[in-house]
Amino acid sequence: MAWQWKWREPSILIQGAEGFERIEIPVYRSTGGPIFKTLLSSGCRMDCRYCPFAYFCKVRRTAWRPDRLVRVSLQAYREGLVRGLFLSSALYGDPERVSSDIIEVAEQLRRAGYKGYIHLRLMPGTPPGLIRRALELATRVGINLEAPSPSAFQEIAPSKGSWSLDIYSKLLYAARIARDSRRVDTQLVLGASGESDEEVLRLVETLVARGVGIIHFSPYTPVPGTPLAEKRRATPLWRAHQLYEALVLIRDYSFTLRDIEPALTEHGFLPPLRTRLKEYLAQLHPEWFPVDPTTASRRELVRVPGIGPTTANKIMKARSQGELSLELLRKLLGPRWRKVQRYLDLSDLGDN
Ligand code: SF4
């Protein structure tokens, strides 16, 4: 199904103490399908310098009663409107209490027999016991890093706790417990702290190595009335797209920051590219090619533009079974063959 929208507000009918009530719910189109994405509360005591929910911003504040949120989530799921719930919150109270309230919603949902996707965003400083419980209940659990270093975080979120102790170490703890890098995620507000791509990628490399596989790059957008709006311009979407490509290369293709470094400008940014990052890197690393598919390692194979992890695995399997031939390679690559062959040394497969 081709989705044409990012956000929608379908309405559902729920039964309360005083009869039926129709309410609209925010539904976000994620890659896996529509998600009911909401905040437990948008009331906040914090002063994050980019955020429309900071205590000094004049916005309408809303909050869910947990039992009502549970009923609405169940109903939306049963009607097939969503495949799951993403639940976060502003910091309306002590972070431990807010995380605890978020987890309570997941508890109630599971107790009611809900089998759908649950993604919980925990607060900085959530104690280990609550992180463990969240992972028992939810499909995915995360804590937002917001910025790539303690100093950058201090600049944009001065009261939200210690980047190192309350967020980074908790995130790594969650990754250790989860033992599945797709179950733990985090988010950076890209461009809010003036950080370079190099700083972001250094963090990405470490997070991936420590088991955090999902990293969201939320491009910074100045919000009128927030302190940072005067200081920083909006981050272009293409920057986030290129960093997502870099994340995939590091996580799924075994690229290192060192492999990507030649693409960075002297100020540590990826320039806006006309090609995919992987193709650009192939141009910058002529020493990587040609690759001999009869002897190349998996890492060498996936560096070839047009060969991904799945194809590399198929090539290696065919090779180990003594079945790799020019014909099979062409078949495996299909329409990619024309592009890929110029990166390959096919002499051992009889192509001279
Ligand atoms: S704690 Fe969260 S909701 Fe509150 S101001 Fe900071 S980013 Fe915004």
So where are the chain's domains? 1-143, 179-286, 289-349
pLDDT band per the 50, 70, 90 thresholds, residue 297: very high
Q: Which two tokens stand for residue 109?
A: 């949902």
Q: How far is the CA of 86 from the centre of ligand 1 (A)?
A: 17
Q: How far is the CA of 292 from the centre of ligand 1 (A)?
A: 52
Pocket test of ligand 1: the residue of 154, 160, 167 to mutate, having most ligand atoms within 8 Å of its CB, is: 160
Residue type at 73 in one-letter notation: S
For the stretch 162-186, pLDDT in tens is 999 999 999 999 999 999 999 999 9
CA–CA separation, 39 vs 15, rounded Å?
Answer: 22
For the stretch 192-201, pLDDT in tens is 999 999 999 9
- pLDDT > 80? residue 222: yes
CATH fold for the domain made of 1-143: TIM Barrel (3.20.20)
Q: Please give the sequence-ordered ranges of beta strands (E in DSSP) within the chain, or none if there are none.
A: 7-8, 11-16, 19-24, 27-30, 33-39, 84-88, 117-122, 140-143, 184-190, 214-219
For the stretch 39-88, pLDDT in tens is 999 999 999 999 999 999 999 999 999 999 999 999 999 999 999 999 99
Residue tagged 């916005």 (tokens):
59
- Is residue 54 in contact with ligand 1, taking CB distance under 6 Å? yes
CA dihedral 246, 247, 253, 256 (to 10 degrees): 70
Residues 6+ apart with CB under 8 A from 221: 234, 235
Protein residue closest via CA to atom 3 of ligand 1: 90
Average confidence score pLDDT of the chain: 95
pLDDT band per the 50, 70, 90 thresholds, residue 2: very low
- Is residue 228 in contact with ligand 1, taking CB distance under 6 Å? no
Q: Which of 46, 43, 39 is nearest to 157 (CA)?
A: 46
pLDDT band per the 50, 70, 90 thresholds, residue 352: low
